[in-house]
Chain A
Amino acid sequence: MLIKKTIKTDQYKFVFFIVVMIVIAAVMFSLSRIMIPLGIAYILSLMLKPALRSFYSADIGRKTMSIIILVTSLFLLTYPIVKGVKTISEEAHKIEYYLPRLESYLRIKYGELKQFVFEKVNYEITFNPVDSLIELGQETTKSVLVYLPQIVTSALEWSFMIPLFLFFILKDERRVRFLMMKIVPNSIVEKTYYLYHSFNTKFGDYIFAKFIEATIVGVVITAGLLLLGYPFAFLLGIVAAVTNILPYIGPFLGLIPALVVGLVDQNPNTTIGAMILLYVIANVIDLALVFPVLVSKIVNLHPLIVVVSVIIGSQFGGVIGMIVSIPLAAFLKLLFQEFYLELYGRT
């Protein structure tokens, strides 16, 4: 009788816990304006974990530490905007002059190709992809310009909200975690806590490693392009750093804009061969030194699983989905292992 009552109480607790989780998830999805900066702040808090260790060893309290991080993150978020925007906007302005050149280049090359095919196989290509491509480019530019004020407003809102959320996450995360643990039913408390901790560790370590990796690649490429006297060194460096986050296909995606610039630019100083060699060197450094040391130890996944999870991630969540998919796959592997051990026992 008593056992039956206990099981019933545990079931009620379980239902209540599930309901609370569903409500939290529903709130998260409905309030995207708050949840996106909160999510970024949460990821930043996970990335800052290694830095926190040095604070702990210096015997600095949680509150002081949170204030130091708040001030530093505010500075780090605003300083590049003030300083870097000038250089990047100058380069972005130059693109305006490059686009007509790119258009004429594409038209000439397409004409040459058409001529070549006609001469060889006596067939005239009627399909014109250049026009549709240029139209698509114009449409995209237009839509970006329309949404630009909204993007700027969001960026300003985020540059204020992210440090604020980060401050409170660093200061009160443990208190909230302990409070949440109180509503977890006794029967699943140990596993829930362990899995939550594993997910946080994997996710934080992965994002931190990827950030370091992207920074190294970006810096190497920017420095190399500056030395080569290649145009758009900063922009291409940023593109290479961002695309590097995507595994396998990222380095190739980063190379495409550099190739386009090299082909369109008729400057004799622009050496495509040297540029390709630079990209190869940057990726060799990444694959041979950075990746094995930083990333592979965190996510021990089969390459095929990595590719499949990135494709699935891109389908559901775009670029963010692609980034998040790998640590999520690593966590799912851990979850699977846990359930497997529970169901089939240990070998």
Chain B
Amino acid sequence: MNSDEQSTQKKFETSKATFVDERVSIPTLKYFWQTSPLATNKRKSIPKFLRSIKVFEQFTDYELKIFSEFLHERIFAGEEVIIKEGESGYGFYLIFSGTIEILSQINFHDGANTERRTQLIARLSKQEYFGELSLLEKRNKRNATAISKGESRLLAIYKPDLEEMIERYPVVGAKFLQAISIIVAMRFNSVTEEIKTLKDMISILEKKLADQEDN
């Protein structure tokens, strides 16, 4: 080997060593990227969001990950109608961000006249949900209208997805149905409370009327 060849070989060795030293470790970079608070990984953020909802507390992390794969992310603009009263419903919605107004048509009696008025029933925000009955009934009719107030991001699960989930992941499907049952039970309790309050009010009014008539 002559001197020229030796120097070329030496240069090659040095450059190789430098290359190895300066080589970027992809796994390390990936680790820092994933752990960075600035990185928003959708795959992780949706199960994390679901974890913060109380009715999903019986789900394990793995089950939440599976459940999140069945969710459709839908973005609604301000004043956009999400569901309409009287229409057929096939979806349950979780509010990921934004505010949703639930409105219903109510008969308003003014003397002999009766007119239908739109009344605000509830204002829902992040971590709240609506439309659970559409997953349970065979032919569901929406009993209220939901409108997005400002831009909102919703996570939707539709009836066909639920059927697929029950077939593919029966445990996750059963836990989800359990969560839906809890939601329905909560709504039922609040309706019962409301009926009680209304009955109390009616009895007070009836008593007042009776007193007035006596006087």
Specify whether A and B are partners.
Answer: yes
8 Å CB interface, A56-80 against B: 56
Candidates A5, A53, A186, A193; contact of B76 at CB < 8 Å: A186
Tell me whether A154 is interfacial, beta carbon within 8 Å.
no
CB-based contact A190/B158 at 8 Å: yes
Select one of A10, A181, A194 contacting B159, CB under 8 A.
A194
Q: 1/0 contact trace for B151-180 toward A, CB 8 Å?
A: 000001011100110011000000000000
Q: Which residues of A contact B89 (CB under 8 A)?
A: 190
Are B79 and A6 in touch, CB under 8 angstroms? yes
Look across to chain B and name the residue whose beta carbon is closest to the beta carbon of A56.
Answer: B168
**A316→B91 CA distance, assembly (Å):** 36
| Interface-central residue, B87, B156, B168, by most chain A CB under 10 Å | B168
Q: Tell me whether A342 is interfacial, beta carbon within 8 Å.
A: yes
Residue of A3, A53, A190 contacting most chain B CB atoms (<10 Å): A190
Residues of chain A in range 239-272 having any CB-CB distance to chain B below 8 Å: none
Q: A6-B80, A56-B168 are in contact. Are A191 and B88 (CB under 8 A)?
A: yes
B126 cross-chain contacts in A, Cβ below 8 A: none
Contact B80–A186 (Cβ < 8 Å) = yes
B71 nearest in chain A by CB position: A178
A187 at interface, CB cutoff 8 A:
yes
**Residues of the A chain whose Cβ atoms lie less than 8 Å from the Cβ of B182:** none
Give the contacting residue for B79; candidates A2, A174, A186, A191; CB below 8 A.
A2
For the complex formed, measure the closest distance between the CB of B85 and the CB atoms of chain A, giving whole angstroms. 12
CA distance A2 to B141 in the complex (A): 28
Q: CA separation between A194 and B159, bound complex, in Å?
A: 8
The interface size of chain A toward B, counting residues with CB under 8 Å, comes to: 26
Cα(A100)–Cα(B91), bound, Å: 66
B99 to chain A minimum Cβ distance, whole angstroms, is 14
Sort chain B's interface into a size bin: 20 to 34
Closest Cβ neighbor of A337 among chain B residues: B139
A197 is contacted by which of B74, B160, B168 (Cβ under 8 Å)? B160
With a CB–CB cut-off of 8 A, which chain B residues contact A9?
77
B residues within 8 A CB of A5? Answer: 77
Contact residues in B for A190 (Cβ distance below 8 Å): 83, 88-91, 158
Contact with A along B75-112 (1 / 0, CB 8 A): 01111111100111111000000000000000000000
Task: Pick from A2, A193, A338: contact of B78, CB below 8 A.
Answer: A2
- The verdict on A149 contacting chain B, using a C-beta distance below 8 Å, is no
Answer whether A186 and B74 are a contact pair too, CB < 8 Å, given A53-B167, A193-B158.
yes
CA A233 – CA B163 in complex, angstroms?
Answer: 44
Which of chain B's residues have a CB closer than 8 A to the CB of A189? 72, 74, 91, 156
* A287 contacts partner chain B, Cβ-Cβ < 8 Å: no
Contact of B160 among A6, A194, A342 (CB under 8 A): A194
In this assembly, does A276 line the interface, its C-beta being within 8 Å of a C-beta of chain B?
no
B138 nearest CB across to chain A (Å): 12
A158-201 contact mask (Cβ, 8 Å, vs B): 1 or 0: 00000000000000001000100110001101110110110000
A93, CB-defined interface residue at 8 Å: no
Q: Is the CB of B77 within 8 A of A193?
A: no
Q: Nearest residue in B to A5 (C-beta to C-beta)?
A: B77
Residues A186 and B141 in contact, CB atoms below 8 Å apart: no
| Docked complex: B26-85 residues within 8 A CB-CB of A | 72, 74, 76-83
B164 to chain A, nearest CB (A): 8
Cβ of A81 to closest chain B Cβ, rounded Å? 33
* CB-based nearest A residue for B86: A345
Could you tell me if B79 and A341 are in contact, using CB atoms closer than 8 angstroms? no
- Shortest CB-to-CB span from A50 to chain B, Å, is 11
Given A186-B74, A346-B141, also A10-B80 (CB < 8 A)? yes
Known: A2-B78, A186-B74, A189-B74. A342 touches B168 (CB 8 A): no
A302→B96 CA distance, assembly (Å): 47
Neighbouring A residues of B82 by C-beta, 8 Å: 186
Closest A residue by C-beta to B142? A190
The 10 listed contacts between A and B (C-beta, < 8 Å) are A189-B74, A190-B91, A191-B88, A193-B158, A194-B159, A197-B159, A197-B160, A338-B88, A346-B139, A346-B141
Interface residues, chain A, with chain B CB atoms under 8 Å away: 2-3, 5-6, 9-10, 53, 56, 174, 178, 181-182, 186-187, 189-191, 193-194, 196-197, 338, 341-342, 345-346
